[in-house]
Chains A and B, each alone.
Chain A
Amino acid sequence: MFLDLLVSPLAHPFFLRALTAGLLLAIAASFIGVFVVLRKMSFFGDAVGHFAFTGIALGFLLGFDPILAAVVFSILIAIGVGYLEDRTTLSLDTTIGIFFSGAAALGIFLIGLLRGYRADLFQYLFGDILAITQQDIIVAALLVVVTLTTMALAWRPLLQITFNKDLARVNGVKVDFWEYAFLVLLALVTAASIKTVGILLVTALLIVPAAAAKQAAKNIRQLLVFTIIISLLSVVFGLFGSYYWNTASGPAIILVSLLFFVLSLLW
């Protein structure tokens, strides 16, 4: 009986595709999520989701692949935010707030320019496992390779920067380079996760598992391992829940991760 419940969704190719893509994205998102939480960048992560939304609208309007457009647009705006923060007296949250509202307004404006009702646009808001293709899996796999390779090099510099930027600089870390590299990676992972969890919930995928892990972890290695485990379990349980209750995949995945967060508070 239980085995049937477990196996029957796996018989559907669309479910297998969603599970594979979801698990791959969970791994990539975990590495980014740890730093989003440690560096208190949740608002930035949320904003990047909105940049991606505008990118998707631009993609539809100009006839480009929406996800590719989201990736390019998110990266450009994320770098723009970093650049302005460095070169103006504005605080990071003010700079993000400006871009955040600007991107959302532009996205809605662009959607208004699209002719007719675009149901496919809504799959990007809430995530749709039926929409995940073989190509999305390849993109997710590439993303994991890029994330792991970058993190192998960036892990120590980023932790040094998180602790204290001046100490990192004196220790020879190229702080600006790694901060921008992280912004690019954050934009990449966010845009690539949109199909699975949707724009509205993509930040939660980055933040909630890492926040739950932070409650329970005793050291930095545990923090990363717990984040990965919680992300993977959230994707698995969330997708099965989404299948059986016939709901959007994004909210189901995030609700499971929230359950882990509640459990972590009782730790």
Chain B
Amino acid sequence: MPIVSVRDLNVTLEDHHILQNLSFDIEAGEVVCLIGPNGSGKTTLIKTLLGLIPYAGSVTVLDGPPGAPRGRLGYVPQKIDFDRTIPLTVRDLLSFFTERADSNDKHYKKCLDLVGAGDLLDRRLGDLSQGEFQRVIMGLALHRHPQLLILDEPAAGVDLEGEVVFYEILNKLKTEEKLTVILVSHDLSVVYRYATQVLCVNHALVCRGLPQEVLTADTLGQLYGHGAVYHHPERPHPAVRL
């Protein structure tokens, strides 16, 4: 039974066809990377799975419709346009996002420890670096022990070192917490290293499969335009971006 099942998905926003006839399944334990050029509909697909925008077609997420899954889901958005002058600590943030029964330092610390951010509990959000901020948001996404974690370019704006740490944490969590992960990334070295399935989105589903099969000159040309080449690196970092 797939954790996510999508059939003939179409999304039209303000008369623009953003997504057309997408069909795919995601099985438990997979790390699925969505790749595609800017404006290709990756974030729209993520938001559809989360139940944040209207769609046509059949979509099931954790045995329920988008927005009302029957399992636990965590989400790390692309970019949080947060006013850094607001006097909000990491503890504050976790306290109003968690259930009252879990509103205690022990629970907050446990979530933050998963992402190596246990020492940030008393810090003001506005004082955190981008890398620390993203780890806190990831800790927040993990507070309900999700079965499915959806991340939309989680390392955008994070420096290279922070990015490496972030994906190592994600990989560890995937193994230890038995997470299924859907990840939007422009970083093909990340995709190559961590993905069990790649979905190439450019309004339609251009390609789908293992990264070794998908990240070829042909498919990348189809997706990003001819001339786009990905050299499989010996070392996955520094990041190769298209």
Chain A positions near chain B (C-beta within 8 angstroms): 38, 40, 155-156, 159-160, 162-164, 166-167, 169-171, 214, 217-223
Contacts and interface: CB of A to CB of B under 8 A. Distances in A.
B67 A218 contact: no
Interface in B1-31: none
Contacts of A159: 92, 96
A214 B50 contact: no
Contacts of A222: 87
A218 B123 CA distance: 10
Contacts of B67: 169
B77 A166 contact: yes
A74 to B, nearest CB: 26
B80 A219 contact: no
Contacts, number: 60
Interface string B102-142: 00000000000000000000001000000000000000100
B97 interface: yes
A171 B75 CA distance: 9
Nearest to A213: B87
B87 A223 contact: yes
Contacts of B73: 170
A238 B212 CA distance: 72
B115 to A, nearest CB: 16
A172 to B, nearest CB: 9
15 contacts: A40-B83, A155-B96, A159-B92, A159-B96, A164-B82, A166-B50, A166-B52, A166-B75, A167-B75, A167-B97, A170-B52, A218-B124, A219-B87, A219-B88, A220-B87
A170 B87 CA distance: 24
Nearest to B90: A219
Interface of B: 47, 50-52, 67, 73, 75, 77, 80-83, 85-89, 91-93, 96-97, 124, 140
Contact of A163 (B80, B85, B124): B80
Contacts of A217: 87
A40 B87 CA distance: 14
B64 to A, nearest CB: 12
Contact of B52 (A155, A169, A223): A169
B157 to A, nearest CB: 15
Given A166-B77, A167-B80, A220-B89, 14 more contacts: A159-B92, A160-B96, A160-B97, A163-B88, A166-B47, A169-B50, A169-B67, A170-B73, A170-B75, A214-B85, A219-B89, A219-B92, A220-B88, A223-B87
A159 B125 CA distance: 14
A228 to B, nearest CB: 15
B39 to A, nearest CB: 18
A166 to B, nearest CB: 6
Given A166-B50, A169-B52, A156 B96 contact: yes
Nearest to B124: A218
A163 B75 contact: no
B77 A163 contact: no
A206 B72 CA distance: 39
Interface centre among B47, B77, B88, B93 (most CB of A within 10 A): B88
